[in-house]
Structure 1
């Protein structure tokens, strides 16, 4: 079954891949939401940088927050990642283009953290 495309503020689209719950992060309980964008590599600028901060903020606020339970343990951190193809969690793959952004989860909001 094909995943629904999610339109991003940049004009790109991603599909939801999965989420990882139960792998601790540096801030404590962390939920990771992973997305796929096969065209991610093409978003690099002349210096090889992909600026997707607006897109990851959007995914945190309008996708992740809706999926965090209001009861039970609450995460301290939400990580949004986008890759050009699926990759096993925790397994390095130098051929995969990936970006990650971390957000503190406080008072039901996403607060961007610089890595």
Structure 2
């Protein structure tokens, strides 16, 4: 489990190097079983703070360690395991994209 500001349990499941957008995107995929929109679940507003924290504390170090120069870093949270690229209408998923500048995660809203 990785520490995040909300205190929810978050587990890293995959790090994918994706060139399909035409440039390198590094995708960090996490399971966060408490996210969702129903009562008692962690909503996007709280989860977005956790995603920014994961980018800054995990993704920046990973990119530096492996000497990568990604155009974007994507942090995704899912309430259950989902194969990359597969549709799962019953799952809750949150995504955020960042660019890295001087070891800082800069949010890239879509």
Once residues 2 and 58 of structure 2 are traced to their aligned partners in structure 1, the CA distance between those partners, rounded to angstroms, is 9
Is 2:15 the partner of 1:19? Answer: yes
- TM-score using structure 2 length: 0.85
Q: CA deviation at 1:33?
A: 0.1
Q: CA deviation at 1:43?
A: 1.5
Contact 2:9-2:33 at 8 Å conserved across structures: no
Runs of 4+ in 1 over 3 A off after TM superposition: 69-73
> 1:54-110 CA deviation, whole Å, 9 max, x = no partner?
111100000111111456551010000000111111111101110000001222221
Count of matched residue pairs? 105
> 1:22-79 CA deviation, whole Å, 9 max, x = no partner?
34337x21000000011112223xxxxx212211110000011111145655101000
- The CA RMSD measured in Å over matched residues stands at 1.7
Please, which runs of 5 or more residues in structure 1 have no aligned partner?
A: 45-49
Please, which runs of 5 or more residues in structure 2 have no aligned partner?
A: none
